[in-house]
Structure 1
């Protein structure tokens, strides 16, 4: 009955209109899927020149890898801060924008590195060198391994050289005047002599008195000094992978693994060949055929390679290349080299992307399989590690299931998996046990969701085959600690402030006495003494704060030059500058100083160029979603 009514309703005019509309919408959607194409995301547009989002993503990955290598574990903690990650991405994008502006300026100026400069730059790259010399075989192998063509490498090197040319033009045009360098030279070697009176803070702390009321007033005036960070109290279970001994691995399992992975223990066939190459040109075919005829006539292959090969790097060695395996060089060259049957055989003409070749087989190393006895221990260790990992994975999955099924307690999970429920007192993020000090766990422990629901967390992987589940038992928000809790600390801080105030008053009094005449009586009365600083230079082994103050003081005139300075340890000192000795004759370092000033000025000029290009440019920054779903 129901389906009859449905069929009857479908015959109505209204139903037919609706049906046609639905079919049309599907049809249009289908057509749209054929005529539309994914639009490439753009990170920025610089004077109409787009920087693709993928270029930004690649540069961002490279920068992350560099920072991780440089900072180690500290970088992992920094990555937990989304603001830090966004900052890295903004910095990388800004560098790409600057590069694009520089490339556009290079194009406007018509700067272009020559082919010879590019070739020399490639030859000098250490990646392509063996024993300090360019190795053509290594060059070809690395290009093939990285899916690069010689043209792509050439264009990339040329671009870098073009940028370097502009940099050198700007930096190289900077200069420093002789008088400027001479002044810096003399100031660098300047010597100053002074008298110093140190006012030890400890001496004034002994004289200072602080009441409870003063300590409480200091506490109230400086609440930021007594801030307690937010804290949590946790229960947690920690799952750590056990170890499986290689001695426990069944011998049959080792043999089965060896049989199933023969390729991993096989040294493939290797060949050593020599070649004669002619660069591609209109008459290349004629040249290579002429060389082939001379070989047929009996001329020596090595001598012809030295005399006729355009590959001058290998030509010096008779065209010889290093040992090679199948699949490591240009496909056509590779196929021809491994198609030769006997040592001494010479191929026909072979065309590769590098040129035309004649290839001679010099020597063959047959494929070899390592015997089981040589690799048994390595296989046993591998299987033991895999078994330990598999055991951990199974227990990890079960822990996740139990923590979810019994969300208000960790006891069930701990009991079944033979784990211990451990607890912390109230701890801040910096006070968590070392095994829990992982950014992912810290984020969970202080999340509003866990502390409000009081439920088990999801499984948290800690790396190195470790995982944990936590449960927040209690939470304390960040707050100023009670005065009674920090009374001693507040008193100590107030005492230091009062001592510093007494010391400053004494320093002011000393300056006044020193301005008027002799200070011997004042020093005796205050149980202090003066010391002489003679011929002090900017490189002298003195307190940095003292050196900065001493060389900032004006030379003494009718009135003595006095200065009170706070030393690095907190003590105060009063300085009286007695003399300034600035040498007149230039030193041997004058030329180096002038070069250094020129470099600094050149760097400033280059930065000014970048700033000017940015000011004049039409730059549009677009929001781009990264792989970690963050926007900037």
Structure 2
């Protein structure tokens, strides 16, 4: 896949090389479809054009990687649901279909990104930049290591840019009416004057006294609130190589490892070269021969690269490709470059897949081997990890065998491997011990198979050289808790419910009397006071629920007050009376921003409308692989 090739080519220094190629649009589709040869299987056929099963696979892998990076362990849990995986694959396929429809529309309209646009887009990709500047050396190395030619890359970028032209034309042609944005501008700056009264729940809680019979009645009516979840009690063995004394790696082993892998510690020879490239064609060979003759006549290599080379990127730098290592470029180019021995020497004409080249040596560095003292600690650390991993693997295999051979107990496995059987008390899936909170452990612990058959689980890997085998000792099904055990909890809930009912009654009474202008006596009787809210805006620092309700209330009229009960964000109650609404009559500088925002929203709507229209008129046939998620 294109993505994997570029990532591998960049080695450890670049992990997201190709992401720059998809920042323009449709990242979901991935770039695997750019270069992967289609197979016979198809995921869908869109207006006669195939979307290959491999293209779907590449896009699905890319989306999985993105979601895993974004959601972490939560995504791993989602993947255990076959229905979710199927829906994810279907969503990915729909995105690929939409992309193909847009590409077909782009071709129909004859939209085409210019050479300058393509060139600027490539130079702007961060994967090809060093210290914020485009590096031709980096550009050549990554393309070579990925197996992608410069022409392929340009075609891919041109396709993305051409597609973006269509999307941009939709957004740029969208607009919002001045009258609409003017109204939104004024509404956004609207101010409201109001009064409000908080209804303190504590005042009503003191009025609530419940008998045991009332609390029991609440318990009986709300048994679902007092459920004890399913619980299990288990024994388990923990295999953890990190808890065991690490075997020291001998000096002899470290030395032998160094000698056996000297090539791994060698800094390869490098050459700084420049080239002049001419694309292949009917007169390509003649052009490069003519340039070779000019060089032989004494003309400047750098000047000819600037004026004659078809590689515009390096041509601007006099053909300089920067430093290259052996075996990183096209074999023919690589061989010719490293055959040069004197600075200023120029190679004969070299033919590669990209074209014809003349190569000049600018500088060279000899290969070096890192001394043993410099890499000793790193080798020792790696060998220690390998030893620990090897010991863990052997013990894990034996643990699996013993747990299977003696399925009704963990004692034999513990005895042979020198492990301790650890017993837990009853726990639910929500309050499992920290070590056992792994989703895989929870799934096994509460599985009907282990419970009913009384068998040991398989070895469950926890990562980082840790694994467990569990044995369910006892299970308690979910059941209502006894009233005596939860009486205080039930009383608290029943009291809170009754308190809320009394507060709701009081709030309704206040709304009624305040609407009539008769709130004074009621407030005095309840020892409550009114708080003024003056020139409140949508951004005022008040309870968000209060602000939301206040700006949703109708403006007061001469014969109808605007009064409303509000539930605050902290769960409390309040009654609000809106007195005045002040809407600005002049426009502000915000109108321009609002208009831009509304235009963008409209552009998104029009894009979705385009997609729906293209789909409705398209002939789309789904292949069998579209509905068959594979297990990775």
State TM-score, norm by structure 1: 0.89
2:44 aligned residue: 44
SS in 2 for 1:57: helix
RMSD: 2.2
- SS in structure 1 opposite 2:239? strand
Q: Distance in 1 between matches of 2:207 and 2:553?
A: 31
Structure 2: distance between partners of 1:627 and 1:563: 56
Does the alignment pair 1:460 with 2:466?
no
**Correspondence for 1:260:** 260
Q: Which residue of 1 aligns with 2:292?
A: 292
Query: Which residue of structure 2 aligns with residue 70 of structure 1?
Result: 70
* Partner in structure 2 of residue 431 of structure 1: 431
Structure 1 window deviating more from structure 2 (174-183 vs 602-611): it is 602-611
Deviations 1:476-534 (A, max 9, x none): 33334343333322222222221111111111211222123242221121121111111
Q: Which residue of 2 aligns with 1:626?
A: 629
Which residue in the other structure is 1:194 paired with? Answer: 194
Partners of 1:246 and 1:402 in 2: CA distance: 24
The 3-state SS of whatever aligns with 1:397 is helix
CA distance in 2, matches of 1:208, 1:182: 53
| Distance in 2, Cα, partners of 1:310 & 1:372 | 46
- Whether the aligned pair in 2 keeps the contact of 1:201 and 1:570 (CA below 8 Å) is no
What is the alpha-carbon distance in structure 1 between the residues aligned to residue 329 and residue 281 of structure 2?
22
1:528 partner SS: coil
8 Å contact kept, 2:556–2:580: yes
- Mark the structure with the bigger radius of gyration: 1
Q: 1:47-89 CA distances to partner (integer Å, 9 max, x unpaired)?
A: 3433222222211111111122222233333333334333322
Q: Which residue of 2 aligns with 1:606?
A: 607
Kindly indicate whether the alpha-carbon contact (under 8 Å) linking 1:507 and 1:564 is maintained by their aligned counterparts in 2: yes
Per the TM alignment, residue 623 of structure 1 is displaced from its structure 2 partner at its CA by: 4.6
State the match for 2:576 in structure 1: 575
Q: Which runs of 5+ in 2 are unaligned?
A: 1-37
TM-aligned CA distance change 1:54 to 1:280, over 3 Å: closer
TM-fit CA distance, 1:337? 0.6
Choose 331-340 or 245-254, whichever is displaced more: 245-254
Task: Report the counterpart of residue 203 of structure 2 in structure 1.
Answer: 203
Mapped contact 1:562–1:577 kept (Cα < 8 A) = yes
SS in 1 for 2:80: coil
Q: SS state of the match for residue 338, structure 1?
A: helix
Which residue matches 1:479? 479
Q: Once the 2 structures are TM-superposed, how far is the Cα of residue 293 of structure 1 from its aligned partner?
A: 1.8
Distance in structure 2 (CA, Å) of the matches to 1:318 and 1:335 = 21
SS of the residue corresponding to residue 468 of structure 2 reads strand
Contact 1:246 1:380 in 2 (8 A): no
Mapped pair 1:185 → 2:185: yes
SS in 1 for 2:540: coil
Aligned to 2:489: 489
Q: CA deviation at 1:263?
A: 0.9
- Shift, 1:240, TM fit: 0.3
Q: Secondary structure at the match of 1:248?
A: coil
User: How far apart in 1 are the matches of 2:464 and 2:427?
Assistant: 25
Give the direction of change, closer, same or farther, for the CA distance of 1:230–1:52 in structure 2 (3 Å limit). Answer: farther
* CA deviation after TM superposition for structure 1 residue 471, in Å: 0.6
Which segments of 5 or more consecutive residues in structure 1 lack a partner in the other structure? 1-37
Shift in alpha-carbon separation, 1:157–1:306, aligned structure 2, 3 A: closer
Q: Which residue of 2 aligns with 1:80?
A: 80
- 8 A Cα contact 1:404 1:456, kept in partner: yes
Determine the C-alpha separation between the residues in 2 that align with 1:117 and 1:232.
64
Alignment of 1:374-393 (within 5 A): 374-393=374-393
Indicate how the Cα distance of structure 1 residues 85 and 200 shifts in structure 2: closer, same or farther if over 3 A, else same.
Answer: farther
Q: How does 1:199-238 map to 2 (within 5 A)?
A: 199-238=199-238
Whole-Å Cα distance in 2 between the matches of residues 50 and 330 of structure 1? 32
In 1, the alpha carbon distance for the partners of 2:128 and 2:230 equals 55
Tell me if structure 2 keeps the 8 A contact 1:174–1:601: yes
Deviation per CA, 1:291-340, whole angstroms, max 9, x where unpaired? 22222223333333334333333334332221111121122211111122
Taking the aligned partners of 2:307 and 2:346, their CA distance within structure 1 comes to 18
Size of the aligned set, in residue pairs, is: 592
Residue 41 to residue 217, structure 1, CA distance change in 2 (3 Å): farther
Question: Are the aligned partners of 1:134 and 1:313 in contact in 2 as well (CA < 8 Å)?
Answer: no
Distance verdict in 2 for CA 1:118–1:301, change over 3 Å: closer
How far apart, in 2, do the equivalents of 1:123 and 1:176 lie?
35
Structure 2 distance, partners of 1:548, 1:472, is: 52
Counterpart of 2:416? Answer: 416
Which residue in 2 is equivalent to 1:15? none
Query: In the aligned structure 1, how far is the partner of 2:318 from the partner of 2:243?
Result: 55
Shift of 1:244: 8.3
CA–CA separation in structure 2 for the residues paired with 1:259 and 1:244? 30
Take 2:271 and 2:244, find their aligned partners in 1: how far apart are those partners?
42
- Kindly provide the CA deviation profile for residues 109-161 of structure 1, in whole angstroms up to 9, marking residues without a partner as x: 33232333323322222222233333222222111222222233223212211
**TM-score, length of structure 2 as denominator length:** 0.89
Q: Secondary structure at the match of 1:626?
A: coil
1:340-359 matched pairs, under 5 angstroms: 340-359=340-359
Task: Tell me how far 1:243 sits from its aligned partner.
Answer: 6.8
